[in-house]
Structure 1
Amino acid sequence: MSDHISGPRALANAIADITDVFAFPSPERADRLVLVMNTLPFAQVGNAFSEGLIYRFRLRPLTPNPAGDGAPFSAGPEKGAEEFVFDCVFSAPVRAEDGSFEQEGTCTTPSGDTVALLVNDERGGSGHGVRVFAGARWDPFILDAPAALKTVASGHLAFSELGAIYMDGKNILGLVLEIDTALLGGASLVAVVAETLTRGTFNVRIERVGRPEVKNLILGPKQFDPVNRDLEIRDLFNMEDAFHIQHGYEGAYRARLNANLAFWDGLDGRTDWPADGGAHPLTELVLADYLVVDVTKPYQEKGSFLEIELASRQGRTHETCGGRTINDDVMDVFFTTLINAGNGPVISDGVDASSRPASRMFPYLSPPNPHPPEKPEHH
């Protein structure tokens, strides 16, 4: 789940499907920020990156919005905002008779400098304040996905004390950047979003991801939406600029979010997020779909996800780096925030850690499973 198969286009173009995004200060070096984009659910060790895609990270400095604003931060004006873009592209793979392959990649920094790399080389490529790795890795996502989907379908919490990661042992194609924070122009609080786009003279955004499960568990369910009950909305949302939603579809997104966020809030039989005239208090925060990272704070493996956003809503100073680390069980934070706003017990899906946790050393993601489970037919 997370962002696996997050709409019809992702299903039809699996190579462009972003499964997870992580952003966190390096546990090895205090002046480095780590960016991770995982793609291609159910990848095989022999899968290569697409030479037809741009794999892009976009970062923007954030400024606090006034107290009471639904979105805690502003990512700048629609045009002319300061932005730092890291683009990675790949050559066509050269395959040998034994099935192995070689593939070259290039990462371009915001200043236009380039860093070369070889796919599946754990040393990565380095230069100009950037270190980059690309290759097949173990899928690190932590969630009992069938139980989450059963919760949506039944209207009742379906988690058990002992959950299971759906088809544990899956692989993905992982792209890891470790960047010098000096490349961010002195910004301390930044928004991070990852995208896949078509490569060429005309770039079309296929997918973009900020926070986990925005599309599959918050935007995906149709049955609670009184306005657009027959609309598959996720492809539209994927094509949006994460920092500025088009006015044409805002009403549809808000109707879906107001309805689905109210569904999640009601699962414990009480309302912890009272709506104001039908607008759910978290709708604007969800629409601003990017990870928020304080690059001046130290790495914190657990407990930083959503901490900055929730601190802003509560009128207090944030204490952590925010963002999202690979080993953090963020789905418990996700469910607890949506269902009881932190006013009750932790809502757990019964899965607390990956069976192959990430390391604290580059490239962080665990090596791939040489014999991953078969991709299910319905996918």
Structure 2
Amino acid sequence: MNDEHNASAHGVRVFAGPRWDPFMMDAPAALKTIATGTLAFTDPGSIYLDGKSVLSLVVEVDLALLEKTELIGVVAETLTRGKFNVRIERVGRPEVKNMMLGPKQHDQVNRDLEIRDIYNSEDAFNLGESYPGAYRARLNANLAYWDGIDGKVDWATNANGDHPLTDLMMADYLVVDLTKPYQETGSFLEIELAAMRGQEHESCGGRALNDDVMDTIFTQLINAGYGPVIRDGVDAATRPATRTFPYLAEPNPDPPSAPAHHH
């Protein structure tokens, strides 16, 4: 705990303790965009709950342990404590829950279903057989809604009404190419989008701590990368991650308290 200088053992190095939350997003502006169907981002925007400290677990693995593996899938999960653990977040597709699974009004199939808790209970690598149809209906509806925000359709649905990004969003894990060099920006979803186009990917994939991934997501949702970058007005954490272990910045000695918000 809290040991930034601990040595590596058996090819693994671990840090646990509070750190500055690196996530950057103007969440209220995103929710306003969903509610109104019009871009509500400002420049500059503001990072929701900026400066909060989060209990963090950092694991560094020596590639030699993976024996020439080229592609790996990675999931990180947040669970509640106690005898009965509830998974409240799983990272691969940030904000898929709140922005793409949460809104109910566009879904003609399961309009009254709160789907996020069910989705969070899944194994990201192996969705159960009961609910993927419900996730798919919700994603197809909400992804089509996002696509229409700029007044034009950039993602054509197939004969079944499936949105091209639905499968990509349901694969709620990161894909990393261990043979490619680390890059700080532009690698998020690059492997997945290249695979959709039937092209070779060019980056390491994954998700770097300082990459402004929400701009990537907003841009893909709204104009499929054919138009300008859709910015939420927030481009970097107030205390960016570093290139040295444990990467996350020192915790805030005086973190803000959380305002009341839903789910």
Do these two structures clear the TM 0.5 threshold for a shared fold by scoring above it?
yes
What residue ranges of structure 1 are gaps of 5+ in the alignment? 1-118
Equivalent residue number for residue 315 of structure 1: 198
| Matches of 1:229 and 1:336, distance apart in 2 | 26
More divergent stretch after superposition (281-290 vs 208-217): 208-217
Match of 1:169 in 2: 51
Aligned ranges 1:173-192 → 2 under 5 Å: 173-192=55-74
Q: Which runs of 5+ in 2 are unaligned?
A: none
Q: CA deviation digits over 1:172-204, x for unaligned, max 9? A: 11110110112224311111112356889x985
AA aligned opposite 1:259: A
SS of the residue corresponding to residue 292 of structure 1 reads strand
TM-score, length of structure 1 as denominator length: 0.66
Matching residue of 1:368: 251
1:378 and 1:326 mapped to 2: Cα distance? 25
Structure with higher helix content: 2
Structure 1 residues 377 and 280, CA gap change in structure 2 (3 angstroms): closer
Q: Alignment partner of 1:223: what SS? A: coil
2-side partners of 1:166 and 1:353: how far apart? 12
Instruction: State the AA in 1 paired with 2:115.
Output: I
Q: Percent identity?
A: 68
1:296 aligns with 2:179: yes
CA 1:287–1:159 in structure 2 vs 1: closer, same or farther (change >3 Å)?
same
Aligned with 1:259: secondary structure? helix
1:1-379 matched pairs, under 5 angstroms: 119-124=1-6, 126-196=8-78, 206-207=87-88, 208-277=90-159, 278-378=161-261
Determine helix, strand or coil for the equivalent of 1:134: strand
Larger Rg: 1
Partner of 1:65: none
State how far apart, in whole Å, the 1-side matches of 2:260 and 2:218 are.
29
Higher relative contact order (CA 8 A, sep 6+): 2
Letter in 1 for 2:232: D
Distance 1:136 1:263 in 2: 38
Q: 1:358 to 1:199 in 2, by over 3 A?
A: closer
4+ runs of 1 displaced by more than 3 Å?
Answer: 196-200, 202-205
- In 1: Cα distance, 2:234 partner to 2:261 partner: 24
- Deviation string, structure 1 residues 89-109 (Cα, Å, up to 9, x no partner): xxxxxxxxxxxxxxxxxxxxx
SS across alignment from 1:126: coil
For 2:212 and 2:73, locate their aligned partners in 1 and report how far apart those are by CA, in whole Å: 21
Instruction: Classify the secondary structure of the residue corresponding to 2:169.
Output: helix
Amino acid aligned to 1:223: Q
Distance 1:261 1:175, change over 3 A: same
Count of residue correspondences? 260
